[in-house]
Amino acid sequence: MKALKHVILGFIVLFPLCLFSQQPARPKLVVGIVVDQMRWDYLYRFSDRYGQGGFRRLQREGFTCDNTWIPYLPTVTAPGHACIYTGSVPALHGIMGNNWYEPSQRRTVYCVGDTAVQSVGTTSAEGHMSPRNLWSSTITDELKLASNFRSRIISIALKDRGAVLPAGHGADGAFWFDNASGSWISSTWYMSELPAWMQRINAKQLPHRYMQQDWNTLYPSHTYRQSMADSSAFEGRMTDGVTFPHRLSHARADQRYEHFRSTPFAATYTFETAMEAIRSEQMGKDSTCDFLALSISSTDYAGHKFGPNSVEVEDSYLRLDRDVARFLEFLDKSVGRGQYLVFLSSDHGAANNAPLLKQYRMTGDILDMGRLRVRLNDSLSRYFGSRHLVATVINHQVYLDHRAAVENNIDRAAVLQYIRKFLLAQPGIAFVTEPGKDDLSLPEHLRMVLGNSYNQKRSGDLQYHLMPQWFESRTTGTTHSTWNPYDARIPLIWFGWKIPAGKTSRQVYMTDIAPTLAALLHIPTPNAAIGQVITEVVR
């Protein structure tokens, strides 16, 4: 009987400890890789020259969501990163574009601009950035809360918005590239000074070293069969021309680091910095799950400059494939194979160059929005007697100056009707909508996209939509921002910890990424998330 009492007493003492020790299983490290402007088809278009350890390994050993879409407008960098990490849309997370007009302040704002914080690591104003404009929490915020603030959260990107928005509000560090100093910087939102390991990286002046060499193709340029001829009227200039080799050392001193952003070496530099962050911050080294948010910005700069059909873009992805392979090999050794979780996606795609398609008698052309705005204001002035009825046109949205309309006793509805008629008469504009009001004549998908994009505080009075493959004011390279598949269909691959090998062609959305991560990590979804768990990934 005495022995039985000891057994029972031991059970009573140990049972709570057993319960306490049953923490939810999580990977040691989560890595989010967002490849800026990576079209979905790039996974396949250049695959014949991809190695076995990069994109092919991700697809072979991981789970590919081959039919992933962006469910809002505009399809640009800032809302793309915000959506991936919040599982939400501009209507709810508040990031309306890279820039947008704030009607309450009567001014245009930058998505992560914040004059209340100071630069760290530079004397320039490029560090005046924070997530203050982001209304909702991110998956990184939720992991920080769920771990009782023990998880290390680090975010790195050339672009400030590509670093700040994934980092969320409570990150240990967000770092972006400063052209003025040629180094990584941050802001006082996160820290008072750069960590020692980042200072060591900056002291090496690697971007300066990269810009002392030529950028030549990995293979003979004539073998790049997925690209047009190296010399083309449809691509922009680099330093001293449009053809390989690009002699980076010829760049003007004041433009050196802006050109650096367009080279594949900038992606290599970003991965090198990420690996040092993992080593120095001891990420993935204990039982607490850490998170590294990594955005590869150089592919967007190259895409804008050269276009999807250029040798430069093809070469950038062949080199990126090697960078991904090296990074995965590093994670295998540093964190442990099967101990880390990776997702790879993109913030948006890109259109084919419109003048290039026109040469082949395909649809598409250029809408000179600068001239169109002047003509619109002139027309409004003649009809209503005021040149100040339009405050601005941004993100394909027209914002009225409501104060000017009231002061001139002009009816808002009459102005909107006039502008709508004017815009619909322009070549290249397919339809015009009034944000917040359903247009039942549109397909259901478009009604959903427009609804997700409408924000009562930050949306304009009218929104115009371009015909397929039309550009705004760009003849070389490419751009993006529309609902069309070339801009709105993106890659999505899950890899590593507890991820089954496979593929689905079921339609999923960018908003599903954060909820799926939350399900895998057993943590709350971000507080404005509307996406669904991708059940094929969570088994």
Active site residues per annotation: 77
DSSP 126: G
Name the nearest CA neighbour of 436 among 454, 449, 420.
454
Strands (E), 353-491: 366-367, 390-394, 397-400, 429-433, 462-466, 471-472, 489-490
Separation of CA 390 from chain center = 30
- Backbone torsions φ then ψ of 378, nearest 5 degrees: -60, -45
Within 10 Å of residue 407's Cβ, how many Cβ atoms? 11
The two tokens of residue 351 are 């259109």
Each as own residue / partner, the long-range contacts of residues 189-197 (CB below 8 Å, 24 or more positions apart, any chain) are 189/114, 189/117, 189/129, 189/130, 189/131, 189/132, 190/120, 191/120, 192/120, 193/120, 193/121, 194/120, 194/121, 195/280, 195/281, 196/280, 197/276, 197/277, 197/279, 197/280, 197/281
| Pairing verdict, β 119-120 and 153-157 | unpaired
Residue with tokens 């293979």: 219
User: Rounded to whole angstroms, how far apart are CA atoms 137 and 85?
Assistant: 8
Cβ neighbour number for residue 20 with a 10 Å cutoff: 8
Measured CA angle at 482 (ends 393, 263), to 5 deg:
100
Residues 6+ apart with CB under 8 A from 344: 33, 34, 35, 58, 324, 491, 492, 493, 495
- Cβ within 8 Å of residue 505, ≥6 positions away: 66, 67
Query: DSSP assignment of 236-293, as one string?
Result: ---SS-SSSSEEGGGS-GGGHHHHHTTSHHHHHHHHHHHHHHHHHTTTTSSSS-EEEE
Neighbouring CB atoms inside 10 A of 471's CB total: 25
DSSP letter for 334, please: I
The rounded distance, in Å, linking the Cα atoms of 255 and 15 is: 65
Q: Closest Cα to residue 534, out of 11, 65, 153? A: 65
